[in-house]
């Protein structure tokens, strides 16, 4: 405690808030908006350095709050894990502390990996709220477009798996039989469905090249080969 009995942790947290700057060093893919954001690594490293300077330590207590049934994507089962983290910032001189919390989600082929990803984002979300790190207000300083860092691998995984399925790249054919075949193929194509979009597109192009027709004109043949288990 200080002479006026104010816990030291409050002044230390104030110093962290005053000095903290976190760059938006990640960028979402263009199909997900292309927005810049602060990665989990950038947030945690920025806070960690200032904690050390201001005699603070962080104690984490994390638990799995929920595990969803497997998501099926590209013929792989992925588990969606939600983790709840409770964190204490403790001043090493007088032991005074503040507590804050956050939730995070992770999507991966194994629950252990998904849990690690979820824990990473639980901490990031907790730090962002506690230290007022806004995704919209964080400025990118001294960073050229050519040197833009890649997106967090963990966030790529979650974003890609939860993004809405892409529309069929094939234009609607003119004749009725191919239209109906396209509708049936489209209904069975996408994440968690019978066919992988990339496999369908590749086989569609292959058949069109073999028959010398446009992709929209070979839907009936495409459906036959898909039902027979053929892939390009």
pLDDT tens track for 188-224: 777 777 877 778 888 888 888 888 888 778 888 888 8
Per-residue confidence (pLDDT) for residue 146, from 0 to 100: 32
What string of DSSP letters covers 34-68?
--EE--HHHHHHHHHHHHHHTTEEEEEEEEEEEEP
Mean pLDDT of 53-72: 87
Q: How sure is the predictor about 123, in pLDDT bands with cuts at 50, 70 and 90?
A: very high
Give how far Cα 14 sits from Cα of 7, 8, 10, 94, 162, Å: 12, 10, 6, 16, 37
Using DSSP, state whether 22 is helix, strand or coil. coil
Per-residue confidence (pLDDT) for residue 144, from 0 to 100: 26
**Of 152 and 6, the one with more pLDDT:** 6
* Nearest alpha carbon to residue 158 among 216, 223, 73, 54: 73
Mean pLDDT of 120-125: 92
Per-residue confidence (pLDDT) for residue 74, from 0 to 100: 60
- Reply yes or no on whether the pLDDT at 76 is more than 80: no
Do the Cβ atoms of 217 and 173 come closer than 8 Å?
yes
Q: Could you tell me which residues are beta bridge partners of residue 60?
A: 87
Largest CA distance in the chain: 88
């Amino acid at each position: 405690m200080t002479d006026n009995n104010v816990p030291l942790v409050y002044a230390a947290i104030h110093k962290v808030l005053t000095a903290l700057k976190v760059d938006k060093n990640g960028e979402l893919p263009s199909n997900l908006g292309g927005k810049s954001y602060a990665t989990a690594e950038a947030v945690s490293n920025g806070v960690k350095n200032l904690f050390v300077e201001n005699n603070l330590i962080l104690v984490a207590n994390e638990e799995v709050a929920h595990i969803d049934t497997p998501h099926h994507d590209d013929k792989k089962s992925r588990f969606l894990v939600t983790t709840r983290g409770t964190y204490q910032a403790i001043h090493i001189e007088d032991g005074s502390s503040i507590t804050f919390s956050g939730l995070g989600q992770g999507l991966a082929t194994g629950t252990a990996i998904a849990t690690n990803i979820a824990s990473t984002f639980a901490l990031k979300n907790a730090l962002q709220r506690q230290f007022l790190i806004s995704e919209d207000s964080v400025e990118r300083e001294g960073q050229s477009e050519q040197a833009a860092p890649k997106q967090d691998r963990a966030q790529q995984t979650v974003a890609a798996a939860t993004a809405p399925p892409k529309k069929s790249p094939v234009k609607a054919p003119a004749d009725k039989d191919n239209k109906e075949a396209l509708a049936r193929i489209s209904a069975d194509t996408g994440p968690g469905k019978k066919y992988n979009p990339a496999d369908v597109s590749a086989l569609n192009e292959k058949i069109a090249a073999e028959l010398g027709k446009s992709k929209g004109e070979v839907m009936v043949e495409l459906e036959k080969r898909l039902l027979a288990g053929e892939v390009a």
